[in-house]
Every structure is written in structure tokens, then in C-alpha cells.
Amino acid sequence: RCGRRCYPTRPIYMHRRTAVVAGIAGVAISVLAPGVLARLCGPRFCGRRLLATRPARATASECKGDSTPSTVLHLNAAGASPMPTEARDAMVGYLEYEVEVGAYTAQKKRPHAAREALATLLRCDVEEVALLDSAQAAWARAFYSLNFTSSADRILCFASEYAGNAVAYLQMARRTGARIEVLPMRTDGIADVPALEAALQRTTTSERAERPGRTLVALTHIQTSESIVQPAAAVGALCERYGAVFLLDTCQSVGQLPVDVRALGCDFACGTGRKWLRAPRGTGFLYVRRRALDEATRSGSTSLFGEPPLIDHSGAVWSTPDSYTLLPDAKRFEMWEADEAARHGLEAAAVVCRATGPARNFAHATRLAARLRSGLAAIPGCVIRDAPPSFDEEVARSLGAARCAIVTFEAESTLGVRSADLHSALEARGISVSVSPSTHHFEPAARARPSVVRISPSYINAESEIDTALAAIAEELARLAREKGA
């Protein structure tokens, strides 16, 4: 029940011939001493399946040192969601087939269709989808493919930025001299789109004619500890108008809400499987717009679009002893080795997401998040941090923004209770949430704030579970505050 396979004793590994002899002898032995065969022979020998039996799963109480309750309330979709049965079954079924026929044969006879499933979800062509092992790997492949060369090149980003992306900007600026321009957020936490347009206008018409597309605009669609869905379509329209490259981080949006990459106008979009999409860990994807693929290989191109930062023989053809040709599609960003079982799980999860309906899922999750915020506001000492107090949903909608199902709060600034301590207390009660640091921001004032507890319900949750979490938060916060005072 705890999800682990525990063996009472170390299995003895032996070759097939030895195993057969041992098996025959074991039949006789087992008549006199039941269980001896099981103790002598594990379920696998030399990596091959010998017996059809499986080791029994241990109960939670048998897993020494594991105090996690057997039933967990999952409220951490922004971190990692539990997989749907369809995804788990797809992975297990493929792994069992792989054991039976071998990895290469299984890959050939049971190919996944993860790219097709994701293309349907993202509303793009399958040739524009690459599969990676995480959203950050996908984002990095896109970013480091860009041909920054000098201080004439610019990286435009916003003050609220994911730390994993921000450090890459700093490294690129150090390596090439490219300039980073950090654009402000409005007081309500929404990206200042007019400030972006003013920055794009600073590149003169003659400069754009001589060196088109030398500006990157990077936007995180939903920040890791914030509830604001930034106006990506408005940013994309400006990038189209001024010839800038648009890199969109959709790690927290794909699976949570409808994402149409064509409508958003981005050149690249990255995502992960493990969050709102409910796919296995170790899965990610990259959308690469057709024009970015074509421009990267066009002779004489002076744009930022370039080749992937690393390639192998699956992303390029070794055409002559001293030359290669990139694949014409997004698979040029992939490497040969991959977790095929995980990709079957990713495919199944994407199909489930499409079937349940991203718009319907988003509406349900945001209703739960609103209920959660309302309940937190009534708990003494809770300070909601996922959006500034001045955030207004009507105003946000008029700007192309919205509020999502990520809820963050802290009580350190009021009661002196650290988010890490409250997280541990909730975890002990079987409530899965997470903690987000304040370092995902360029502004020193924002970085100085306490870490926050992040709760992120999804369409698999119910109102009763939100109420359970609120009651636990109130109890644990009061207890921790009393202990702090003592």
C-alpha cells in the first residue's frame, strides 16, 4: 500500500541453467519446508523473468522509518500530481512487455504516440513537438539554441521570473555580452505589457532591418508561487509586430488550463508531465514553431534562431564524413536514449487531460482555489501571497490575464511560524503541499519576503478536501504559534 516493494531477504541471483536445477530441487524442499523456495529464489534472474509471481507489497507499517499516512490528500498539482490509472497502466503494461520481448523489440512493436497527443493538446503540428525529460531541459534546449553574440542582442524578461530561467540569462550575458533588460510588473502583479512595447520600440527601424530578430522576449506564463496567468497572447502579438523571438515557459499552465500555442504567438513553449498534466516524472516537452525550425537552417540568416545546443544521430543525419544535416522537425532537439515507458505514460496522461477538458478542469480547480483563499483569510495570521492585494480579476480579464489554482500563504511575518514547519506538520497529517522560496524574482523587496506554503488543487479534488485542509491548517498553525510563544 505504501507503493514500495520490500523483500524480506536478499534474493540470490543465478544463471538460467542453475535456476532450473534449483527450481526442481526447490519443489521437493518446499514440500517439507514451505517458503524455502521463495527465500532462495527471487522473482528475477540475470535480469530475465523466471517466475510469474510478484513480491507482495508491504503495508505502510512494514516500511520501517516511513511515517507517511497510507491515505494522502494530494493538493500539490503545481509540484507533482498523482498519475491517473490510465498512465500508470500504460507504463506498467509497456514495462512488462519490454521484459518479455526486450527493449528494442518493444520500442519497435509498441511505439508511443506522445507527440501526437501533445500536439492535439497544444493545437500545433506533431512535427513541432519534441520530447525531453523535463520542462527545464526543454526550456534550456530552446534558450541555448539562440545565437546571442554581442551586446547588440537583448534579453527582455519580467521582474517576476523563475530562478532556473534567470540564472541562464545571467550566464548568457556573461558569455556573450548580451544585455538583460528586466521589465516591471504592474502593482497588481500583471506583466507590464506597455513597458514591453516601449522596450521593443527602442530598437530602431534601421537596426531591425539590418539584424532582424535579435531580441528575445521571455515570459513565464504562471510563476511557480503566484496565481496570475500572465497575458501571453498580448506579449506574443507585440513580438510578432516587432520581430522579436518569444520564449514562453508554460510549465505551470499546460494541463491546468487550455493552452493554444498558435493563439499565444510563441516561438517556443516548454512544459512538464508531472504537474497538472498528471504524467510521470522524467517527462517534458518542447514546442518549436515551424518558422523557428526553418529559420535556424536557412543559409545567410542573421536572426537569433539557431541549432540545438547539442545533437546526436537521432536529431541529425551524418550525411558525409565531414557534414551533417539537422532533421527538419522538432525532433532535432531530442537525444537518442529515452524512457519509453514514461513516454507511454505521458501519452496516456495527455489523452486523459484532453478527454476531461482543460477548460472544465481549470474552472473546477479555480473554484476550489477561491474557496481555499476565502478560508485562509479567516485563519488568524495567514497572509495570502499568490497575488498582490490590488489584484482584480475583472481588470485582469480585460488585460488578457487571469487567476489560476495556485494558492500561497505564509504566517512567518505575523506569527513567526516558518512555512517549512507548517509544511512538515501538514505532511505528517497526510496533506501533500509544498514550500516555495521567495527567490523567483529580480526585485530585492520581493526576494526578502518569507517562503510560502503552496497549495494547488486540481480537477481531481473536491470541496470537502479543501475544508479538511483548512481545518488542519488552522489547528497546526495555532499549535505552532503556541509553541513559538512558549
Task: Please give the order of strands across the beta sheet that includes 179-183.
Answer: 129-132, 284-288, 268-272, 245-249, 215-220, 154-158, 179-183
Q: How far is CA 323 from CA 299, 317, 326, in A?
A: 15, 9, 10
What is the predicted pLDDT for the residue at 447? Answer: 85
Rounded-to-integer distance, Cα 78 and Cα 225, Å? 9
State the Rg of the chain over Cα: 26
What is the predicted pLDDT for the residue at 43? Answer: 34
Q: Which of 46, 28, 47 is nearest to 37 (CA)?
A: 28
Cβ–Cβ under 8 Å, residues 118 and 138:
no
What is the predicted pLDDT for the residue at 484? Answer: 84
What is the predicted pLDDT for the residue at 51? Answer: 28
Cβ–Cβ under 8 Å, residues 156 and 217:
yes
Rounded-to-integer distance, Cα 302 and Cα 151, Å? 15
pTM for the whole structure? 0.84
The vertex-272 CA angle with 268 and 276, nearest 5°, equals: 120
The angle that helices 193-201 and 232-242 make with each other, rounded to 10 degrees, is: 10
In sequence order, what are the beta bridge partners of 383? 410
Rounded-to-integer distance, Cα 243 and Cα 205, Å? 11
What is the predicted pLDDT for the residue at 27? Answer: 45
Phi and psi torsions of 47, nearest 5°: 80, 0
Which residue numbers in the chain have pLDDT < 50?
1-14, 16, 19-20, 27-68, 206
What is the predicted pLDDT for the residue at 252? Answer: 97
Phi and psi torsions of 84, nearest 5°: -70, 160
In sequence order, what are the beta bridge partners of 292? none
- Which spans in 290-339 are helix H? 290-297
The pairing of strands 154-158 and 316-320 is unpaired
Please give the single-letter amino acid code of residue 250.
T
Cβ–Cβ under 8 Å, residues 438 and 452:
yes
What is the predicted pLDDT for the residue at 213? Answer: 56
What is the predicted pLDDT for the residue at 207? Answer: 56
Q: Integer distance in angstroms from the first to the last C-alpha of the chain?
A: 39
* Grid cell at residue 117: 497527443
Sequence-ordered strand ranges (E) for 263-382: 268-272, 284-288, 316-320, 323-326
- Which spans in 258-339 are helix H? 261-264, 290-297
* Grid cell at residue 322: 565531414
What is the predicted pLDDT for the residue at 246? Answer: 98
What is the predicted pLDDT for the residue at 297? Answer: 87
Q: Which of 152, 199, 202 is nearest to 177 (CA)?
A: 152
Residues ≥6 apart with Cβ < 8 Å to 161: 182, 218, 220, 223, 440, 441, 442
Half-sphere exposure of 307 (CA within 13 A, CB side): 13
